[in-house]
Amino acid sequence: MRNVKTDQMDQWSVVGVEYAKRGADIHCPTCGAELRGQRYCPNCGTKIMYEGETEKSIKTDERLASLARGGEKMSAAGDSLSRTGCQTMGCVGFIILILLLFLLLFLL
């Protein structure tokens, strides 16, 4: 994919970006604005569906973007713990939290 921040990934089409990388001339069907793989036209806001895409593939792209955002948040939390020198405590606390959740799910 292009250099797109993960909080913006759901606004880009994997298929559309690939077409753009190959030099395809892509334009919005509504206003004719040039596209580089955007999910929505930056000029008029029309939702763009590229050749070869289905609603199911678009939903998959959106879910992957959501997972990537969640991963970035977890990574940032881990980095924060590392910077403060609490890496071991961060791991222990996380493991205890998982154990408590596991016990709550299976004992209730």
Query: Residue 41 is part of which domain span?
Result: 6-107
Does position 45 have pLDDT exceeding 50, yes or no? yes
The radius of gyration computed from the CA coordinates of the chain, to the nearest angstrom, equals: 20
Domain count, the chain: 1
Cβ neighbors of 48 (< 8 A, separation 6 or more) are 13, 16, 28, 29, 35, 38, 39, 40, 41
Cβ neighbors of 89 (< 8 A, separation 6 or more) are 81
pLDDT at 5: 45
Per-residue pLDDT averaged across 15-23, rounded?
91
pLDDT-based confidence at 84, cuts 50/70/90? low
Using alpha carbons, list the distances in angstroms from residue 60 to 63, 66, 108.
5, 10, 33
Residue 1: inside a domain, yes or no? no
pLDDT at 106: 73
Does position 30 have pLDDT exceeding 70, yes or no? yes
